[in-house]
Amino acid sequence: MPFEFKRAPLDGLWIIKPKRYSDKRGYFEECYQSEVFAGQGISEPFVQDNQSYSQKGAIRGLHFQKPPYAQAKLVRAVTGKILDVVIDIRSTSKTFGNHFSIELGEADGEMLYLPEGFAHGFAVLSNEALVHYKTSRYYNPEAEGGIIWNDPDLEIDWKTEDPCLSNKDAQLPSFKALVESCSPS
């Protein structure tokens, strides 16, 4: 089996480690096989690949796409190391409102799969990082949403002392405000 699949603490998340073949030249690994992933219940067709380059301390997120444009993602750090963070925003989920974080990096090639219904972000822990992720739906600017990175109710430890954010990410709402805006009156 070219991949090792481990369930993460939040419902629907998978930590995936590709088998790495190393020799004196470096290494080779397969990053994705639709049949193998489907055997684990990950069967969304991935339609878009995204890549970002960021410097140490950069925080990107926490972002999501609202239905019907919600995206499943398969995330990996190609170079460097990141703290990848997800929040379950599925109101009917038993892990609703909980977050999970994992360090992803080039050293072991682990990836994180998150189904639709999660806010996602990451902080760069190394001097720089190249992050690549697949999405199950195309990005739609009208459907984008987010949660502020330093939400006091979520208490996420980003493991960075000097965070660098975009102006847009620095003004995202709290998780509580997001939930209240979606609740029926």
The yes-or-no answer on residue 63 being catalytic is yes
Pairing of strands 99-105, 128-135: unpaired
Q: In Å, how far from its chain's centre is CA 115?
A: 10
User: Would you call 99 a catalytic residue per the annotation?
Assistant: no
Cα gap 8→93, rounded to integer Å? 15
For residue 168, give the H/E element and its range.
helix 167-170
Exposed/middle/buried for 75, CB within 10 Å: 0-12, 13-18, 19+?
Answer: buried
Q: Please report, for residues 28, 29, 161, 162, the alpha-carbon distance to residue 78 in angstroms, rounded to integers and kept in the order given.
A: 13, 12, 23, 23
Catalytic entry in 99, 113, 120, 133 = 133
d(CA 97, CA 57): 25
For residue 68, say if its preceding peptide bond is cis, omega within 30 degrees of 0: yes
Q: Which of 63, 99, 113, 120 is catalytic?
A: 63
Mind telling me the catalytic residues? 63, 133
